[in-house]
Chain A
Amino acid sequence: AQRVTQPEKLLSVFKGAPVELKCNYSYSGSPELFWYVQYSRQRLQLLLRHISRESIKGFTADLNKGETSFHLKKPFAQEEDSAMYYCALTGGGYQKVTFGTGTKLQVIP
């Protein structure tokens, strides 16, 4: 079975502080990991994916297979980063995507 765990429901940080949103997963094969973001009154959208190894809006995430983690990081939080963040996993090949429970990031001015 595939499972995604986001231990924090809410993460509050001050503007300019570093951010780390935790994500751990359970999957027997080689997963594809994603971070999705939902800003207020907007639809859910892809933020980044581990196979791209890119930085989006200053966010990065590294897949650590040893620790089965895919934490989302940003060195300096901005107010516009306030949103719900969902970690997600798929086995690839049009298989279903399993979402974590989400972490609400609140950046305090």
Chain B
Amino acid sequence: SAVISQKPSRDICQRGTSLTIQCQVDSQVTMMFWYRQQPGQSLTLIATANQGSEATYESGFVIDKFPISRPNLTFSTLTVSNMSPEDSSIYLCSVVRESNEQFFGPGTRLTVL
């Protein structure tokens, strides 16, 4: 299994500001994923973060809006930039093990006023 922690667990932010979410894993992993789960909806993959290279973004998500860092094999950050109320969501990081099972962090609940 994998133990994943996220900071902050929740935040309330003003429109136009930015928030950086941290994800820490208890062991080294090759790939980390960032998802968004909007109220009443499923998980949508934002990007895949590989250590030592640029993140790979899914359709509809861009680096300027969601910059990602992956400085080492146990840590990643996702920044939600220039926030608007539409960015209110739960943001989740996850990792994949050799078994292809995904392990999820507890999520960061973001509310943008």
Q: Which residues of A contact B48 (CB under 8 A)?
A: 96
Q: Which of B8-54 contact A (CB under 8 A)?
A: 30-31, 33, 41-43, 45, 48
> Could you say which interface size class chain B belongs to?
10 to 19
Residues of A within 8 A of B45 (CB): 96-98
* Mask of B56-79 contacts with A, CB within 8 angstroms, 1/0: 000000000000000000000000
Contact status A100-B106, CB under 8 Å: no
B96's nearest neighbour on chain A, judged by CB, is: A94
Q: Does B102 sit within 8 A of A, measured CB to CB?
A: yes
Are the CB atoms of A94 and B30 closer together than 8 Å? yes
Q: Does A45 contact B (CB under 8 A)?
A: yes
- Is B104 a contact partner of A45 (Cβ separation < 8 A)? yes
In the complex, the number of residue pairs spanning A and B with C-beta atoms less than 8 Å apart equals 41
Contact residue among A32, A44, A88, A94 (Cβ-Cβ distance under 8 Å from B31): A94
Query: Are A49 and B96 CB-contacts (below 8 A) given A94-B30, A94-B31, A101-B42?
Result: no
Q: A86-B42, A96-B33, A99-B43 are in contact. Are A44 and B92 (CB under 8 A)?
A: yes
User: How many whole Å from A26's CB to the nearest CB in chain B?
Assistant: 15
A94 touches B100 (CB 8 A): yes
Q: Are B101 and A34 in contact (CB under 8 A)?
A: yes
Interface check A18, CB cutoff 8 A: no
Q: Mark B82-113, 1 if CB is under 8 A from A, else 0.
A: 00000000001000100011111111000000
* A93 CA / B30 CA spacing, docked (Å): 12
Asked if A60 is at the interface of the complex by the 8 Å CB criterion, the answer is no
A97 touches B42 (CB 8 A): no
Q: Is the CB of B100 within 8 A of A44?
A: no
* Interface residues, chain A, with chain B CB atoms under 8 Å away: 32, 34, 36, 43-46, 49, 86, 88, 90, 92-94, 96-102
Q: Which residues of B contact A (CB under 8 A)?
A: 30-31, 33, 41-43, 45, 48, 92, 96, 100-107
